[in-house]
Structure 1
Amino acid sequence: MSRNTLANLALLGDKPLLFSESGSAFIMYGVEGRSWIAMGDPVGRQEETAELAWRFREMSDRHNGWTVFYEVGTENLQVYLDLGLTFVKLGEDGRVLLETFSLAGHERKDMRHVLHKLDREGCSFEIITQERIPAILPELKRISDAWLAEKNTREKGFSLGFFSEDYLTRFPAAVVKREDKIIAFANIWAGAGKEELSIDLMRYLPDAPHGLMDYLFIRLILWGKQEGYKWFNLGMAPLSGLEDRALAPLWSRLGAFVFRHGEHFYNCQGLRQYKEKFDPEWKPKYLAYPGGFSLPRILANIASLISRGLAGIITK
Structure 2
Amino acid sequence: MPERPRVLELVRRHGWNATAFQTLESGYSYFFPGDDACVAYVDTGRAWVAAGAPLAAPERLVESVGAFTAAARERGRRCAFFGIEERMKVAASGELSSMPIGEQPVWNPQEWDDVLSRRRSLREQLRRGRAKGVRIRKVTAAELSGGPTQRAIGAASRQWLASRRMAPLQFLVKVEPFAFPAERACFVAEQAGRLVGFAGVVPVPAREGWFLEDLVRVPDAPQGTSELLVDAFMHWSGALGCRWVTLGLAPLAGPVPGALRFARRLSTSLYDFEGLRAFKAKLEPSGWQTIYLGYPVTQSAALSLVDGLAAFTDGGFLRFGARSLFGLDP
Identify the match of residue 195 of structure 1 among 199, 203, 208. 208
User: 2:47 matched to 1:42?
Assistant: no
Moved more, 179-188 or 298-307: 298-307
User: 2:98 matched to 1:87?
Assistant: yes
Q: Match for residue 174 of structure 2?
A: 161
Alpha-carbon spacing, 1:168–1:186, altered in 2? closer, same or farther (3 Å): farther
Matched AA of 2:303: R
Q: Match for residue 9 of structure 2?
A: none
Normalising by structure 1, we get a TM-score of 0.86
- After superposition, the C-alpha distances for 1:106-137 in whole angstroms (9 at most, x for unaligned) are 63111111111211211111111222212222
Identify the match of residue 210 of structure 1 among 213, 223, 226. 223
Matched AA of 2:32: F
**Pairwise CA distance, 1:36:** 2.0
For the 8 Å contact 1:57–1:67, the answer to whether it is kept is yes
Q: Match for residue 30 of structure 1?
A: 42
Alignment of 1:123-272 (within 5 A): 123-133=134-144, 134-135=146-147, 136-163=149-176, 166=179, 171-192=184-205, 195-238=208-251, 244-253=257-266, 267-272=272-277
Identify the match of residue 110 of structure 2 among 99, 102, 111. 99
Normalising by structure 2, we get a TM-score of 0.82
Matched AA of 2:43: V
Find the aligned partners of 1:131 and 1:59 in 2 and give their Cα distance. 40
User: 2:291 matched to 1:278?
Assistant: no
Alpha-carbon spacing, 1:63–1:93, altered in 2? closer, same or farther (3 Å): same
Matched AA of 1:20: P
Q: Match for residue 23 of structure 2?
A: 10
SS in 1 for 2:220: coil
Q: Match for residue 89 of structure 2?
A: 77
Identify the match of residue 33 of structure 2 among 20, 23, 29. 20
RMSD over equivalenced CA pairs, Å:
2.7
Give identity over the alignment, percent.
21
**Pairwise CA distance, 1:215:** 2.2
Structure 2: segments with no counterpart, 5+ residues: 1-11, 325-330
Matched AA of 2:58: Q
Moved more, 203-212 or 149-158: 149-158
- After superposition, the C-alpha distances for 1:160-190 in whole angstroms (9 at most, x for unaligned) are 1234755667633110011122111121112
Q: Match for residue 311 of structure 2?
A: 305
For the 8 Å contact 1:37–1:68, the answer to whether it is kept is yes
Find the aligned partners of 1:194 and 1:50 in 2 and give their Cα distance. 20
Matched AA of 1:110: S
SS in 2 for 1:29: strand
**Pairwise CA distance, 1:79:** 4.3
Structure 1: segments with no counterpart, 5+ residues: 257-262
**Pairwise CA distance, 1:155:** 3.2
Q: Match for residue 5 of structure 2?
A: none
**Pairwise CA distance, 1:200:** 1.9
Identify the match of residue 71 of structure 2 among 51, 55, 59. 59
Alpha-carbon spacing, 1:192–1:78, altered in 2? closer, same or farther (3 Å): closer
Matched AA of 2:89: L
Moved more, 170-179 or 194-203: 194-203
Alpha-carbon spacing, 1:255–1:131, altered in 2? closer, same or farther (3 Å): farther
**Pairwise CA distance, 1:233:** 0.4
Q: Match for residue 128 of structure 2?
A: 117
SS in 2 for 1:177: strand
Alpha-carbon spacing, 1:33–1:275, altered in 2? closer, same or farther (3 Å): same
Q: Match for residue 4 of structure 2?
A: none
